[in-house]
Amino acid sequence: MKAVKLMVLLGSMMLLLCLFASLYTVTQGQHAIVLRLGRLVHESSSGKLKVVGPGLHIKMPFVENIRIFDTRLQTLDIKSSRIVTKEKKDVIVDYYVKWRIDNLARYFTSTGGNQFKADTLLEQQLNTSLRAEFGRRMISDLVSGVRDDIMDIL
């Protein structure tokens, strides 16, 4: 009799553990991707990456992992840089970038979901583009109305 009660108790505890391990929540402003045994899960009908929106969801416990990403608008504040213009004059530029994750599959495959790596890649790309564009311009262009054109290019 005691053995039966113990088995029922252990079975109930295991069932509760599996239930709690299978539920997860994605909040507003976030999206998640599903990894099954470390590999990205794709939709069976379309072949696209399985992206999960906000809400309460179910996963297979101990088999699937969830990676949640903030898809709201983010700001990357970049430290001041000394950039050389066309006329070989140094200009100190302070700038920032507003960005958001638009394509979770591309973001995850290029950064591994690492926010620091994403920030570093953005900073490198923007710094390269900024130096190239400023290298083609005179100082007078940078402080005049052409400044808006430069912002559009970048």
Report the C-alpha gap between 67 and 42 in whole angstroms: 14
Average pLDDT over residues 36-52: 81
Give the residue from 23, 44, 70 where a domain finishes. Answer: 70
The residues, ordered by sequence, that sit 6+ positions from 42 with a Cβ below 8 Å of its Cβ are 48, 49, 50
* Domain count of the fold of the chain: 2
123: CATH = 3.30.479.30
Q: What is the pLDDT of residue 20?
A: 82
pTM of the model: 0.72
How high is the mean pLDDT of the chain? 84
Give the residue from 44, 70, 96 where a domain finishes. Answer: 70
Average pLDDT over residues 35-47: 81
Tens digits of per-residue pLDDT, 72-107? 999 988 888 888 888 888 888 888 889 999 888 889
Supply 42's token pair. 């794709």
Q: Which domain holds residue 78?
A: 74-153
Report the C-alpha gap between 85 and 142 in whole angstroms: 9
Q: What is the pLDDT of residue 27?
A: 92
Same domain? For 106 and 58 the reply is: no
